[in-house]
A and B are shown apart, each in its own frame.
Chain A
Amino acid sequence: GENVEQHPSTLSVQEGDSAVIKCTYSDSASNYFPWYKQELGKRPQLIIDIRSNVGEKKDQRIAVTLNKTAKHFSLHITETQPEDSAVYFCAATSLSGYSTLTFGKGTMLLVSP
């Protein structure tokens, strides 16, 4: 089955800095890679996703890059703000039929003012 590794487990940055979270996956059949943000005590919420027919996707201050050859994908947050502080999860799955999402273990991002 799929295995997703996520690094780092914790990340502290100053407000305005950039933050990068990296994930690797094992199943070459995976072709859908979402990222979720979870604030303390709340449910995970989808913030951005990427499919394997593109290498990069951007949405305002958030971007995701995908390297299918190396089987890794990354989340980039620019101009970080204190409200970006949360746990971020990457995940991977195949879009063929229904395949279950496999999640990374999460990265706790702390943005200090």
Chain B
Amino acid sequence: NAGVTQTPKFQVLKTGQSMTLQCAQDMNHEYMSWYRQDPGMGLRLIHYSVGAGITDQGEVPNGYNVSRSTTEDFPLRLLSAAPSQTSVYFCASSYFNEQFFGPGTRLTVL
């Protein structure tokens, strides 16, 4: 099993550009989440999904969209990137509340 995979590993965007961070898992987990990690702030929940077709907002959802068309994939879309979205993004899938994290995407918005 590959577990949770994320692409790309690194990305630099200009303010106003849009992009999609990809996340996939092969463990057949129903629950998936997106977090952002900023220095001194811990991990903050952006959006999550409890199954295909169902998504909900977390603590910091503004500026991000998600969709969940399959159990395996949970992409995160930045609609119009802003410097405040510079961060490390982690996708996770969950089984009985244990979170399995992907390797992360380091995003810089100039």
Residue positions of A touching B, CB distance < 8 A: 1, 6, 9, 32, 34, 36, 42-46, 49, 89, 93, 95, 98-106
Interface of A is mostly: loop
Q: How far apart are A24's CB and chain B's nearest CB, in angstroms?
A: 14
Whether A106 pairs with B31 at a CB distance below 8 angstroms is no
Q: With contacts A98-B50, A105-B40 known, is A44 near B101, CB below 8 A?
A: yes
Whether A43 pairs with B101 at a CB distance below 8 angstroms is yes
Task: Given contact pairs A104-B42, A105-B40, enumerate 4 new A-B contacts (beta carbons under 8 Å).
Answer: A34-B99, A42-B103, A98-B94, A101-B45
Whether B90 pairs with A43 at a CB distance below 8 angstroms is yes
A-facing mask of B18-42, CB < 8 A → 1, else 0?
A: 0000000000000101000000111
Whether A89 pairs with B31 at a CB distance below 8 angstroms is no
From A34, A49, A100, A106, residue with most partner B Cβ within 10 Å = A100
Q: How many residues of B contact A (CB 8 A)?
A: 22
Chain B's closest residue to A46 (CB) is B98
Q: How far apart are A8's CB and chain B's nearest CB, in angstroms?
A: 13
Q: With contacts A98-B50, A100-B48, A103-B42 known, is A93 near B101, CB below 8 A?
A: no
Q: How far apart are A52's CB and chain B's nearest CB, in angstroms?
A: 12
Whether A44 pairs with B90 at a CB distance below 8 angstroms is yes
